[in-house]
A and B are shown apart, each in its own frame.
Chain A
Amino acid sequence: NAGVMQNPRHLVRRRGQEARLRCSPMKGHSHVYWYRQLPEEGLKFMVYLQKENIIDESGMPKERFSAEFPKEGPSILRIQQVVRGDSAAYFCASSPTGDLNEKLFFGSGTQLSVL
């Protein structure tokens, strides 16, 4: 039973380019969460999605960032016109439901570096 799969593991982009980060949740999990981690910081919530729906995007910057979780295929976090401040580790997590006592299973993260 594969865990949460994120790719790429490392992504290098120049300022102004687009970054697309992919996340395949664990089998049977329909809830996906994206988090961002800056160096020496904890994880900051960005967005919570269920299949085809954005449930909570309160942590997403208003511009340049978008996320989707289509009926088929992985969840995508898209960052348009990247800037140096977007450099961070982006983690995806999944869970089968949104129950209170349910742990989130995390992927290994995508390290985005903006040159």
Chain B
Amino acid sequence: AQKITQTQPGMFVQEKEAVTLDCTYDTSDPSYGLFWYKQPSSGEMIFLIYQGSYDQQNATEGRYSLNFQKARKSANLVISASQLGDSAMYFCAMREVHTGANSKLTFGKGITLSVRP
């Protein structure tokens, strides 16, 4: 079974509007961390936001927020006030603690976001 699932096809959003990028995950580990990274066309991977499994509140970082629903095992990224520079691939990733590989990140396949002017 896939650890991280990102099934949305290419997403489009109008500039200045909000958009939600979906991510579901699969783990039996009670302790884990969830990350979102952005990959623009230039190729580098840019960290956006982190959510720990025991965090009581949803993470926020500027225009990025994470809609964390633990029971549903979803960690959707919300981008508010979209900008043209937000056009990129977005990857959800997870780090588990007790599986014996507590340091590596497991990535989803990504979602392409295009922001329209």
Contact = CB atoms under 8 A, between A and B. Distances in A.
A45 interface: yes
Contacts, number: 67
Nearest to B97: A100
A33 B43 contact: no
Contacts of A100: 31-33, 52, 95, 97, 102
B52 A101 contact: yes
Which of the listed residues B33, B44, B103, B107 has the most CB atoms from chain A within 10 Å of its own CB?
B103
Interface residues of B, number: 29
Contacts of B37: 106
B33 A101 contact: yes
A58 interface: yes
A101 B55 CA distance: 11
A50 B102 CA distance: 14
A5 to B, nearest CB: 12
Nearest to A3: B44
A52 interface: no
B35 interface: yes
A106 B37 CA distance: 10
Contact of B50 (A48, A89, A101): A101
Given A48-B103, A105-B47, 19 more contacts: A40-B109, A41-B109, A42-B4, A42-B107, A42-B109, A43-B91, A44-B107, A45-B104, A56-B101, A56-B103, A89-B43, A100-B32, A100-B95, A101-B52, A104-B47, A104-B105, A106-B44, A107-B44, A108-B42
